[in-house]
Amino acid sequence: VPQHVWRINLDTPEEAHQNLSFGAADRWWEQTDLTKLILASNKLQCLSEDVKLLPALTVLDVHDNQLTSLPSALGQLENLQKLDVSHNKLKSIPEELMQLSCLKSLLLHHNELSHLPDGFGQLASLEELDLSNNHLTDIPTSFALLINLVRLNLASNQLQNLPADISAMKSLRQLDCSKNYLETVPAKLATMASLEQLYLRKNKLRSLPEFPSCMLLKELHAGENQIEILNAESLKHLNSLSVLELRDNKLKSVPDEITLLQKLERLDLANNDISRLPYTLGNLPQLKFLALEGNPLRTIRRDLLQKGTQELLKYLRSKIQDDVTSPNGEPPVTAMTLPSESRINMHAITSLKLLDYSEKQAATIPGEVFDAVGSNPVTTVNFSKNQLNEIPPRIAELKDSVCDVNLGFNKISSISLELCMLRKLTHLDIRNNFLTSLPEEMEALTRLQMINLSFNRFKVFPSVLYRIPALETILLSNNQVGSIDPLQLKKMDKLGTLDLQNNDLLQVPPELGNCETLRTLLLEGNPFRTPRAAVLARGTAAVLEYLRSRIP
């Protein structure tokens, strides 16, 4: 940093030495002291102790540099309210920083911090603290003194537990502990009366805590854990809950008490071990989104799951009466199964129009599976969770009827031309495979509404998707996609959901804001700098509006 920047309050400006007839605008001796200094996105390796010559600073932003340490003189900036030192290489924080009694926002994310000063609780005015993406293994107990803190982000660290004292943060509204190693959550967390959003995704939780006092909790995200049981006790106090996300856990059942969550709008139970649901779920008045795919549901046909939330709720409501008469809700088993068909569920083919050969760890689909179809019109094919290296060529035989194909969790590295012959296809799930590209011939799938390509190996957005105008949902999370073409996306006037989480997007093109049909745009977990996490957290409409405001 040039020396005259630090001395800007002290030195007489150059023009004072030559120009002796001062207009009103040049009265340099009336200038006020510098209050904001932004040095972001440079190559600074250190900051001078001369920063103390700028005592009036309220904002200091040095994010995205190469700082390995901070000057202790920072502790003298007693008016400082916002300090952003994120995206640097800091290994520690000077104790002196704890003297900043006016500091409201402290952003330390994406550094190399492995511990924090014990005196952290002295930052009594702090309202926002972001420590995500560091190497922290524990949190100082003095955090309990941060009673004005509203947002605390501890995501992507190495925390194995949270101190129970954290519950003393009476103003905390948003707490993010995603991507750590938490096995439990302190029971006292449940006394945090102001908490509105709690993120516990990608930890090692086996159960959810009970929340007797969290009357205001609106969002609870606990996906990708090892939760086996959802207790009625955990649910019954959450009167305000609108989002409950429990995907990718090990839940076996859903308690009837879930219907107490009268404000619930989104319920995500995908990829669990749930075999039956309480039909009363259909009576939740606000529920707009219900995800159940990837569960061994016995009572709900898969084609029904793909028809969307409203159809599903209608079906559940229709079953509430029947529930009284047949409590177990098992489909009838016919005694008329021929020995040669024993591996193949003929009942599913004839009654449900479903050809199911999933979870067999098979390297190929046996010919008799296709032979069994005969002249039956099959609409749904499920070959997921096998060891397939390619799409079975005989799938083309089903081209006159099939609309839903699931090939997820295999080892498929390319899409065959046979698949491109399934002109009636509306839903294609091919997540968790080895795909790097899609063939241009997929353009022929003119009815395709939903494609799931999550957890593959795409480095670029597959361009053929831009030319399938019926697409409503594109799920491309957990790939390595580096860029998207907003102008092509804008032409896709049916596109409502675009999931690009956990990719390699270094920037989000502002023109994406013009894609006004998007209802759900998911961008978390990418390396871009803007929009910031705070904007992303406000939801799709806010992100699109932000992007539009950045169009040159």
Neighbour-count burial for 328-366, b at 16+ CB within 10 Å, e otherwise: ebeeeeeeeeeeeeeebbbebbeebbbbbbbeeebeebe
The per-residue pLDDT for 471 is 95
- The three-state DSSP-derived secondary structure of 104-170 is CEEECCCCCCCCCCHHHHHCCCCCEEECCCCCCCCCCHHHHHCCCCCEEECCCCCCCCCCHHHHHCC
Mean per-residue pLDDT, 374-388: 92
Given a cut of 50, whether residue 337 has pLDDT beyond it is: no
By DSSP bridging, strand 404-406 and strand 427-429 are parallel
Fold of 346-549: 3.80.10
Radius of gyration of the chain (CA): 28
454 pLDDT higher than 80: yes
Q: Identify how many contiguous H helices and E strands the chain contains and give both numbers.
A: 10, 20
What whole-number percentage of the chain has pLDDT above 70?
Answer: 92
Identity of the amino acid at 211:
F
pLDDT for res 326: 37
Average pLDDT, the chain: 88
φ, ψ (nearest 5 deg) of residue 280: -65, -15
Look at residue 323 and tell me whether its pLDDT is greater than 50. no
Q: How many residues does the chain have?
A: 552
- Which tokens go with 93? 């924080």
CB 261 within 8 A of CB 241: yes
pLDDT at 163: 85
pLDDT at 344: 77
| Token pair for 95 | 């104790």
DSSP track, 478-495: SS------HHHHHT-TT-
pLDDT in the model for residue 516: 86
- Confidence (pLDDT) at 338: 37
Q: Indicate the residue type of 447.
A: R
- Convert the pLDDT of each residue in 274-300 to its tens digit: 988 888 888 899 999 999 988 988 778
Structural element, H or E, at residue 198: strand 197-199
**Residue, of 29 and 5, whose pLDDT is higher:** 5
Q: Which of 7-11, 30-34, 374-378, 470-474 has the highest mean pLDDT?
A: 470-474
Mind listing the pLDDT tens digit for each residue in 222-257?
Answer: 999 999 988 877 787 888 999 999 999 999 989 888
Query: How many CB atoms within 10 Å of residue 368?
Result: 11
pLDDT category, 16, cuts 50, 70, 90? low
Q: For residue 144, what are its two tokens?
A: 């309990």
Sketch the domain layout of the chain as residue ranges. 346-549
Q: Which helix (H) or strand (E) holds 450?
A: strand 450-452
- Give the sheet arrangement for strand 404-406, strand by strand: 354-356, 380-382, 404-406, 427-429, 450-452, 473-475, 497-499, 520-522
Is residue 19 scored above 60 in pLDDT?
Answer: no
Question: Two tokens at 50?
Answer: 């001369």
Pairwise CA distance, residues 57 & 51, whole Å? 9
Q: Is there a contact between 486 and 508 (Cβ–Cβ < 8 Å)?
A: no
Highest-scoring range by mean pLDDT, 105-109, 167-171, 326-330: 105-109
User: Listing from the earlier edge strand, what are the strands of the sheet with 219-221?
Assistant: 36-38, 59-61, 82-84, 105-107, 128-130, 151-153, 174-176, 197-199, 219-221, 243-245, 266-268, 289-291
Please state the φ and ψ torsions of residue 165, each to the nearest 5 degrees.
Answer: -65, -20
Residue identified by tokens 């709720």 is 313
Q: Which two tokens stand for residue 282?
A: 């259909």
Angle, CA of 86, 88 and 90, to the nearest 5°: 100
pLDDT in tens, 138-164: 999 899 899 999 999 999 999 999 888
Please give the DSSP secondary-structure letter assigned to residue 187.
Answer: G
Token readout for 12 is: 């007489």
Res. 264: pLDDT tops 80: yes
Q: Which residues on neighbouring strands pair with residue 60, listed in sequence order?
A: 37, 83
What's the Cα-to-Cα distance from 452 to each of 164, 379, 432, rounded to whole Å? 40, 18, 9
450-457 long-range contacts (CB < 8 A, ≥24 apart) are 450/306, 450/426, 450/475, 451/475, 452/408, 452/428, 453/479, 454/478, 454/479, 454/499, 455/431, 455/479, 456/430, 456/431, 456/432
Question: What distances in angstroms separate CA 19 from CA 14, 15, 30, one per listed residue?
Answer: 9, 6, 16
Q: How confident is the model at residue 21 (pLDDT cuts 50, 70, 90)?
A: low
Specify which of 3-17, 183-197, 367-381 reaches the highest per-range mean pLDDT. Answer: 367-381
pLDDT in tens, 461-510: 999 999 999 999 999 999 999 999 999 999 999 999 999 999 999 999 99
pLDDT at 30: 61
Contact predicate 297/276, CB 8 Å: yes
